[in-house]
Amino acid sequence: MIFVTYRNNDLFQTHVPRLLEGLSVTSQFVIPAGTELDTVKDEYVAAVERAVSNGARIMLSDETCNEWQYKGYVGHEPKFRSTSVNLNELFHTQVEDWLGSKTLAQNSVWFAQQLVGTRLVKQILVVTDSICDHRLVGSGGPGRRSNLEMAEWLGEQLAGHFLDAKVSVVDSLADALKWAEDPTALLVMDRHCGIKPLIPDYWYSLSGWKSPALMFMLPFENTTHHLMGREGFDFSFDYDQMRKKIPSS
């Protein structure tokens, strides 16, 4: 018996239901994209406690709704009979295994290339806000870093490939949206950077992004999801392999 809880996003919206097929799920608690867990704390704690009382043995959760969040609210970890499984890590590991031993710089440039295709890029906007919220795939990189240091480092990597582009680091997505109508602009940002309040129709799918500028959404698992199905992009999530990492309930 598995209790599933996470904050929704475009990746989870599409793939978690497929991952759960055939598993013994006792209940789920899913909060909307862009929602802070603190705003639904009581409902979350109650959902965890119901799952425990109903015999759930495993907690399958993302990094927003995990057992540490619960412990912070009530003072102890949830009393599931078996273990907890990190939903983010299941997807991250699939992309990590697929990319192999490439460096973080190589992966950053490669994903940007896939998004851009043959389009000309003259402006790259890297949004500082929340850019370190997720672990990216690849060796190297700037090491211990602040959001600003990571944004500046990513900008440098992309500038080395898109030689005609001017790179700017901005504090928030709101600061980047002035370039949204520029078809030669590439906006680089973490999925937690506050996009939902600014562009609510966009949140779940790139198809909702109606402006000419391109969006490079991090982490790489999310970018992978957006690119799946494109000609020449040969990747799909192996749900069977992911399920093997969830202990038998």
**What token pair was written down for 8?**
């929704």
In angstroms and rounded to an integer, the radius of gyration of the C-alpha atoms of the chain is 19
Tell me, what DSSP letter sits at residue 135? Answer: P
pLDDT confidence bin for 207, thresholds 50/70/90: very low
| Angle (nearest 5°) at CA 225 between 27 and 176 | 110
Q: In this model, does residue 226 exceed pLDDT 90?
A: no
Query: How far is it, in rounded angstroms, from Cα 41 to Cα 47?
Result: 10
Q: In this model, does residue 192 exceed pLDDT 80?
A: no
Other CB atoms within a 10 A radius of the CB of residue 33 amount to 18
Tell me, what DSSP letter sits at residue 136? Answer: P
Ordered DSSP codes for 79-104: --SSEEEEHHHHHHHHHHHHHTT-BH
pLDDT of residue 152: 94
pLDDT confidence bin for 199, thresholds 50/70/90: low
Count Cα neighbours of 138 within 13 Å in the Cβ-side half-sphere.
19
pLDDT confidence bin for 10, thresholds 50/70/90: confident
Per-residue model confidence as pLDDT tens digits over 109-146: 999 999 998 899 999 999 999 898 888 888 887 776 79
Per-residue model confidence as pLDDT tens digits over 158-182: 999 999 999 999 998 888 888 988 9
Per-residue model confidence as pLDDT tens digits over 22-42: 999 999 999 987 788 999 999
pLDDT of residue 166: 96
Query: How far is it, in rounded angstroms, from Cα 90 to Cα 106?
Result: 22
Please, are residues 55 and 26 in contact by the beta-carbon 8 Å criterion? yes
Please, are residues 87 and 93 in contact by the beta-carbon 8 Å criterion? no
Q: How many residues appear in the chain?
A: 249
Nearby residues of 248 by Cβ (< 8 Å), 6 or more positions away: none
**Which residue in 127, 249, 122 sits closest to 188, CA to CA?**
127
For domain 101-227, the CATH architecture is 3-Layer(aba) Sandwich (3.40)
**Which residue in 234, 237, 223 sits closest to 108, CA to CA?**
223
The percentage of residues in the chain with a pLDDT greater than 70, rounded to a whole number, is 92
